Amino acid sequence: MHEMSLAESMLEIVESTARKHNAQRVTSVQFELGALSHADRDALAFAFDVVTRGSVAEGARFEVIEVPGAAWCMLCSKTVALAKLGEACPECGRYQLAVTQGDAMRIASIEII
């Protein structure tokens, strides 16, 4: 389950940010999750809850913002929606696609007190 290692990495960033700002507690974390990133939203939320126990982020609200997948079709010269990697272009049926959105993950915001 790579979501656990992702959650551990998130916690490192969250704790580092909290220390930098002398925060007593983290109340909320917003996380952008690309549809093409191969991470499971529910597993990631569960893992975040587990790894934050006993930390400055324990009990923090974890909000996942889903970012849809998109790609540039080299044959159609259009940006098209892409639900998963390996799909054909919905316009022309070809596979000459360059992903432009939805393959990344990042912490969008951290609320502290």
**pLDDT digits over 11-62, tens only?**
999 999 999 999 999 999 999 999 999 999 999 999 999 999 999 999 999 9
- Residue numbers of the domain that contains 35: 2-112
Pairing state of beta strands 61-67 and 26-34?
Answer: parallel
Whichever domain contains 11, its CATH number is 3.30.2320.80
Phi, psi of 74 (to 5 degrees): -70, -25
The single-letter DSSP state of residue 85 is T
Looking from the CA of 96 toward its CB, the CA atoms found within 13 Å total 7
Alpha-carbon distances of 87 from 11, 76, 95, 97, 105, rounded to whole Å: 33, 15, 7, 9, 21
**Residue 97: its pLDDT value, please?**
97
Q: Backbone dihedral region of 86: left (phi > 0), alpha (psi from -120 to 50 degrees) or beta?
A: left
> Residue 89: what pLDDT?
97
> Quick check: 109 and 13 in contact, CB under 8 A?
no
Q: What was the pLDDT predicted at 29?
A: 98
Split into its structural domains, the chain has a count of 1
